[in-house]
């Protein structure tokens, strides 16, 4: 079956953060929204079908996690990522950011140090700060158009840190970390007594020829010293259902986390969360392959368009997912002027690069998970705005 990702769906009026919060955030409603990380494609049809079918019953009582929830995760993780896990290794979390907050609360005390590698998905440091832990920033290095880890710096920075929050793959840089890089992270963190949280929410959207290495499979040190978070929410476009999970191999870490979660019933999911995960993972292979291929087409389209029409803006080519970090430094604008260019001249709503840390200065993050015609229109508007700069 061929799925249609070219269809333009009007999302206005659905209380969508990406679409309906544009006006309150930018004070205008004439911008193409290309910011919040969800897709403008229809949520995978088998997920919608499963929810509709359940709604037909018309009694929405208390519900436990269906057997298919854990079985489908075990099968998916095995088939897609080559990781053999047992059902008891799973803990439901109502979203990954909340999951990170729970880990911070469970495994650290106020004032403890938590490391992040900016530019990085901002809730990593915001949640840490709001929970009154100290954020240690160990910046990535941009070299030949890709982000890398400066391991000398990493080794120094991580000393004394209780946790490392790793975006694997990376947002906003789109890097798929290599096994060698992950193995070094695992070794260093094991020695420094730093627990690794590997946030793998974008893993299923890894773009060929890249392959996602799951952190826990990297080495024995990685397996024993990590919590891995996964979710079908990005890949199948269902983040509004807040259904994710942690996989913890280490018995001691798992028991501690589960005890913490159960004490406040944080690990109790809801009816639609369980059903949707099971539906996505039980029927998702073909749809996912097609959406990944469409996204890759959009990445190629953006790369070619920028090279041919807006050469002063360089893209960090994502190896996974649909977020593109645009390097706009050659335009010679300060951050305020850059935002002005995108909003007032190009009529586009992107994430300001500095949202992800001061290292994002001169950058903007573009979400290309939209029909190609919309992407083309957006790039045309950007091209015109850049021409008008001169």
Ligand X SMILES: Cc1ncc(COP(=O)(O)O)c(C=O)c1O
The binding site for ligand X (CB under 6 A) comprises: 37, 95-97, 121, 167, 171, 199, 201, 231, 233, 239, 244
- What is the spatial distance between Cα 7 and Cα 339, in angstroms, rounded to a whole number? 29
Least distance between ligand X and beta carbon 244 (Å) = 5
- What is the spatial distance between Cα 306 and Cα 313, in angstroms, rounded to a whole number? 7
Interhelix angle for 271-283 vs 45-55, to 10°? 140
Q: Closer to ligand X at the Cβ: 229 or 305?
A: 229
Task: Supply the DSSP symbol for 169.
Answer: S
Q: Which residues contact 77 (CB under 8 A, 6 or more apart)?
A: 83, 85, 214, 230, 247
Q: Closer to ligand X at the Cβ: 204 or 310?
A: 204
Q: Distance between terminal CA atoms of the chain?
A: 48
Least distance between ligand X and beta carbon 283 (Å) = 21
Least distance between ligand X and beta carbon 105 (Å) = 15
Among residues 87, 89, 88, the alpha carbon closest in space to that of 75 is found at: 87
Helix (H) / strand (E) element for 32: namely strand 32-33
Least distance between ligand X and beta carbon 100 (Å) = 8
Least distance between ligand X and beta carbon 121 (Å) = 4
Interhelix angle for 96-107 vs 251-263, to 10°? 110
Q: Closer to ligand X at the Cβ: 305 or 360?
A: 360
φ/ψ (deg, to 5) at 245: -160, 155
Q: Closer to ligand X at the Cβ: 124 or 342?
A: 124
Q: Closer to ligand X at the Cβ: 96 or 216?
A: 96
Least distance between ligand X and beta carbon 23 (Å) = 21
φ/ψ (deg, to 5) at 188: -65, -45
Alpha helices in the chain (DSSP H): 17-20, 22-26, 45-55, 67-81, 96-107, 123-130, 151-157, 179-192, 220-224, 251-263, 271-283, 285-309, 335-340, 372-389
Q: Closer to ligand X at the Cβ: 95 or 318?
A: 95
Q: Closer to ligand X at the Cβ: 298 or 351?
A: 351
- What is the spatial distance between Cα 255 and Cα 248, in angstroms, rounded to a whole number? 9
Q: What's the CA angle centered on 131, arms 138 and 161, to 5 degrees?
A: 35
Least distance between ligand X and beta carbon 309 (Å) = 28
Least distance between ligand X and beta carbon 139 (Å) = 17
Q: Closer to ligand X at the Cβ: 95 or 353?
A: 95
Q: Closer to ligand X at the Cβ: 226 or 341?
A: 226
Least distance between ligand X and beta carbon 308 (Å) = 29
């Amino acid at each position: 079956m061929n799925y249609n990702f070219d269809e333009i769906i009007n999302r206005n009026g659905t209380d969508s953060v990406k679409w309906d919060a544009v006006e309150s955030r930018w004070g205008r409603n004439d911008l193409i929204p290309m910011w919040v990380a969800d897709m403008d494609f229809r949520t995978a049809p088998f997920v919608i079908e499963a929810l509709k079918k359940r709604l037909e019953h018309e009694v929405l009582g208390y519900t436990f996690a269906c057997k298919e929830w854990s079985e489908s995760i075990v099968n998916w993780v095995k088939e897609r990522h080559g990781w053999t896990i047992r059902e008891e290794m799973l803990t439901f979390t109502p979203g990954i950011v909340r999951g990170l907050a729970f880990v911070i609360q469970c495994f650290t005390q106020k004032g403890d140090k938590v490391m992040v590698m900016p530019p990085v998905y901002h809730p990593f440091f915001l949640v840490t700060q709001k929970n009154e832990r100290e954020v240690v920033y160990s910046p990535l290095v941009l070299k030949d158009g890709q982000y890398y880890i400066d391991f000398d710096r990493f080794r120094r920075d991580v000393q004394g840190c209780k946790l490392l929050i790793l975006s694997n793959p990376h947002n906003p840089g789109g890097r798929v970390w290599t096994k060698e890089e992950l193995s070094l992270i695992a070794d260093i963190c094991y020695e420094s007594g730093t627990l690794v949280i590997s946030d793998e929410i974008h893993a299923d959207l890894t773009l060929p020829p890249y392959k996602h290495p799951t952190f826990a499979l990297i080495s024995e040190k990685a397996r024993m010293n990590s919590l891995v978070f996964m979710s079908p929410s990005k890949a199948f476009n269902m983040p509004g259902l807040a259904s994710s999970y942690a996989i913890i191999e280490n018995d001691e870490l798992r028991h501690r986390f589960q005890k913490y979660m159960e004490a406040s019933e944080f690990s109790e999911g809801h009816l639609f969360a369980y059903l949707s995960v099971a539906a996505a993972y039980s029927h998702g292979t073909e749809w996912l392959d097609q959406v990944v291929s469409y996204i890759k087409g959009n990445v190629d389209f953006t790369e070619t368009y920028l090279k041919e029409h807006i050469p002063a803006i360089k893209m960090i080519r994502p190896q996974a997912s649909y977020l593109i970090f645009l390097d706009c430094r050659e335009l010679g604008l300060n951050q305020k002027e850059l935002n002005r260019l995108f909003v007032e001249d190009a009529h586009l709503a992107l994430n300001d690069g500095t949202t992800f840390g001061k290292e994002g200065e001169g950058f903007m993050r573009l979400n290309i998970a939209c029909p190609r015609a919309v992407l083309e229109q957006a790039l045309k508007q950007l091209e015109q705005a850049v021409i008008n700069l001169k």
